[in-house]
């Protein structure tokens, strides 16, 4: 039965494999044609009351073409918005990936700095345990103390003059 009815549309070029909607929702052309000729149930079972009224008005006035064009514009706009959101999502994923790479780099730098600090800290501890370093430090402290004392004496002599 489907073959005979679609055969009646010989004047129309059949875009086999094409999709009536840009979003490809509802399947390809053949699936749409099959649904047109399916029998059963309420033909407007998926439509709400406002859409039934619009369809009835358009059918009565012979303007179903305008209704179809309006619905196709709405579908195209919704599909364009979906594509824009997908592109934005892709950009967000790229930004997140870049931040994750930067985060890993900063962590590696911090771990390297921590290792260097631990090495330097161990060197300082080892140096402070060395007897020669302690002797030099004591000599420096003693010289500093002597310089301060001599400085106080020099200051007192200058005050008298």
Cα–Cα distance measured from residue 147 to residue 139, given in angstroms and rounded to the nearest whole number: 12
Q: 4-18, 49-63, 104-118: which has the minimum mean pLDDT?
A: 4-18
Q: What is the pLDDT of residues 61-92, one digit of tens each?
A: 898 888 888 888 988 899 999 999 999 999 99
Is residue 28 within 8 Å of residue 19, measured between CB atoms? yes
Q: What is the pLDDT of residues 96-116, one digit of tens each?
A: 999 999 999 999 999 999 999
If pLDDT is split at 50, 70 and 90, which confidence band does 2 have? Answer: very low
pLDDT over threshold 70, residue 158: no
Is residue 66 within 8 Å of residue 57, measured between CB atoms? no
Is residue 78 within 8 Å of residue 86, measured between CB atoms? no
Mean model confidence pLDDT for the chain: 83
Q: 15-19, 21-25, 113-117: which has the minimum mean pLDDT?
A: 15-19
Does the pTM surpass 0.85? The reply is no
Enumerate the domain spans of the chain: 1-39
């Amino acid at each position: 039965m489907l073959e005979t009815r679609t055969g009646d549309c010989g004047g129309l070029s059949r875009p086999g494999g094409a999709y009536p909607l840009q979003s490809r929702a509802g399947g390809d052309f053949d699936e749409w044609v099959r649904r047109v000729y399916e029998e059963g149930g309420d033909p407007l079972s998926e439509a709400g009351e406002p859409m039934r009224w619009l369809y009835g008005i358009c059918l009565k006035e012979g303007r179903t073409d305008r209704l179809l064009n309006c619905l196709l514009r709405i579908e195209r706009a919704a599909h364009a918005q979906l594509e824009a959101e997908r592109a934005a999502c892709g950009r967000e994923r790229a930004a997140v990936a870049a931040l994750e790479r930067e985060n890993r780099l900063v962590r590696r730098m911090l771990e390297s700095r921590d290792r260097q600090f631990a090495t330097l800290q161990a060197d300082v501890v080892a140096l402070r345990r060395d007897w020669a370093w302690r002797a030099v430090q004591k000599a420096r402290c003693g010289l500093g103390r002597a310089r301060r004392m001599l400085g106080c004496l020099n200051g007192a002599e200058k005050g008298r003059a």
